[in-house]
Chain A
Amino acid sequence: AQSVTQPDIHITVSEGASLELRCNYSYGATPYLFWYVQSPGQGLQLLLKYFSGDTLVQGIKGFEAEFKRSQSSFNLRKPSVHWSDAAEYFCAVGGMAAGNKLTFGGGTRVLVKP
């Protein structure tokens, strides 16, 4: 069965500092990996996705993620955080073997200090 683990429930970061959110997955076939962001009271917005090819993926809002197959990881990074990045972030895995279904991690809530 597929699963996603986001080890950090909360992260506090100062504005302007770098941010890295961890994501580890378990999937028995070729994984498709996603990062979504949810601002307070809002729906989910796709930040970036990895299907194949270059393992470093660029997304919206200055985010990037690196797929490391050997570590079963897909960590999200941003070099310099803005106050508007305060939100909850979800990593998800899916694929054809899972019938196009997504499995989400528990989420990481990011707080940004001024």
Chain B
Amino acid sequence: QVHLVQSGAEVKKPGSSVKVSCKASRGTFDNHSINWVRQAPGQGLDWMGGITPMFRTTKYAQRFQGRVTITADESSSTAYMELSSLRSEDTATYYCARVDLLGFFDYWGQGTLVTVST
């Protein structure tokens, strides 16, 4: 069983950045990727991007390109998602999830609420 534990809720000002962490409790990412999905209040799931730590490769959704940076520290089994130039529409719960080689999201973090407000 893999547990992904995310950092706590954040309140940010428009124009600032937020960095959310996701730690794998079992201590390793193995050869899986860690991806980030966000969900605005009352809305659906929106894939943002992901990283495969073993190969140090990243992939981002086109609409977030240039604003999102996903990194990973294998020594601490922690992945990070940083979103910059925040606006009110970025208010959402951000989830990390482990993705199997077949592309399904089998383990999820508990979610981190990011609120962007003046």
Binding partners A and B: no
The chain B residues found within 8 Å of chain A, CB to CB, are none
The chain A residues found within 8 Å of chain B, CB to CB, are none
